[in-house]
Structure 1
Amino acid sequence: MSGKLLSLAIVAVALIFGAVVYYTQVYYYYETVEADGSTDVMLTSLATGEPEAIAYDGFTAIDATSSPIRYRACFTTPLSIPMLTETYEMYEGSAPRNAPDWFSCFDAAAIGAQIEAGTAHVFTSQRNIEYGIDRVVAITDGGQGYVWEEINDCGDKAYDGTPLGENCPERD
């Protein structure tokens, strides 16, 4: 009888532990980002090389302190793609990462499909927002926008331990 109780206790502890891990990864660490109404969505200008705020509406975002790449945001903008591509820096090689299912405005698979189809365009928001992490913005032809963070080349090197090279900024 004690073997059955021990087995039951092990299974119960494993289930509780699994539920706690699931909850912390999907809900606990995320916080809603309060919009400031003016600088929530920024794109890097081709003319100055500096991030500039763009017109947007309906901004909603989440972030987590547990990882530098958990930031996700959604918004709409009245700006046209031709104007954006002539004014702001494009970001190459970006693919959105999944957001928690409860943050329903951000569907990484759908955004990725739009990028691949050419109906969404990815722009640089801010480079090295945190060392090795770039914030990027994708905007669809219909004006729907999405924001997430990408590990850049220097971040890849820093996190895997290879020498940083001359093109990487100094670490703080």
Structure 2
Amino acid sequence: MNGRILGVAVLGAALLGGGLMYYMQVYAFYRPVTEEEAAIALVPAGEETPVPVPVLDFDGIDANSSPLRFRACFSITPETRALDFAPYPQAEPLNAPNWFSCFDAAELGADLVAGRAEAWLSVPEIAPGVDRVVAVYSDGRAFAWHQLNDSLRD
């Protein structure tokens, strides 16, 4: 009888710990980000300093636990789309939590490879070793994320 109670207690603790770990990874640290907080900017071609760009329909999340947790979905104006910005050839969208449904990293990555979207440098070194990247479609839909740059790659 005592072994059964101990087994149930261990199993219960494992389930509780696993559930807590899942919650902390997927929900706990994220918070909504406003358009003003995100301050979307892009680096004009041939320059090094990002300039703010107007965005529409902004939806973003971030977390203080890691500089790589930023994700955003928005649209840019046709006037902004017509300008020339610095490309980001090594763009690799990172997965967002499933509940942040506007950001699909797999689809975005495939579209970047196929040329249906293009990646631009938004903010270099937004954190040490991390760049903000913006991917833009021809219809103005845009997505932003942070990714490691070459300064921290193995």
TM-score, normalising length: structure 1: 0.84
Instruction: Provide the residue aligned with 2:29 in structure 1.
Output: 29
Instruction: Provide the residue aligned with 1:51 in structure 2.
Output: 50
Instruction: Provide the residue aligned with 1:9 in structure 2.
Output: 9
Q: CA deviation at 1:82?
A: 6.9
Alignment of 1:62-141 (within 5 A): 62-79=61-78, 83-84=82-83, 87-141=84-138
Q: Which runs of 5+ in 2 are unaligned?
A: none
Cα distance between partner residues in 2 of 1:82 and 1:150? 22
1 or 2 for the larger relative contact order (CA 8 Å, sep ≥6)?
Answer: 2
Partners of 2:55 and 2:75 within 8 A in 1: yes
Q: Residue type matched to 1:108 in 2?
A: A
Cα distance between partner residues in 2 of 1:51 and 1:91? 13
Q: Aligned in 2, Cα 1:82/1:57: closer, same or farther, shift over 3 Å?
A: closer
Query: Percent identity between the aligned chains?
Result: 38
Instruction: Provide the residue aligned with 1:145 in structure 2.
Output: 142
Partners of 2:60 and 2:73 within 8 A in 1: yes
Partners of 1:55 and 1:79 within 8 A in 2: no
Partners of 2:81 and 2:140 within 8 A in 1: no
Q: Aligned in 2, Cα 1:127/1:53: closer, same or farther, shift over 3 Å?
A: same
Cα distance between partner residues in 2 of 1:116 and 1:81? 22
Cα distance between partner residues in 1 of 2:132 and 2:76? 18
TM-score, normalising length: structure 2: 0.93
Partners of 1:81 and 1:141 within 8 A in 2: no
Q: CA deviation at 1:73?
A: 0.3
Q: CA deviation at 1:156?
A: 2.2
What SS does the aligned partner of 2:100 have? coil
Partners of 1:134 and 1:150 within 8 A in 2: yes
What SS does the aligned partner of 1:36 have? helix
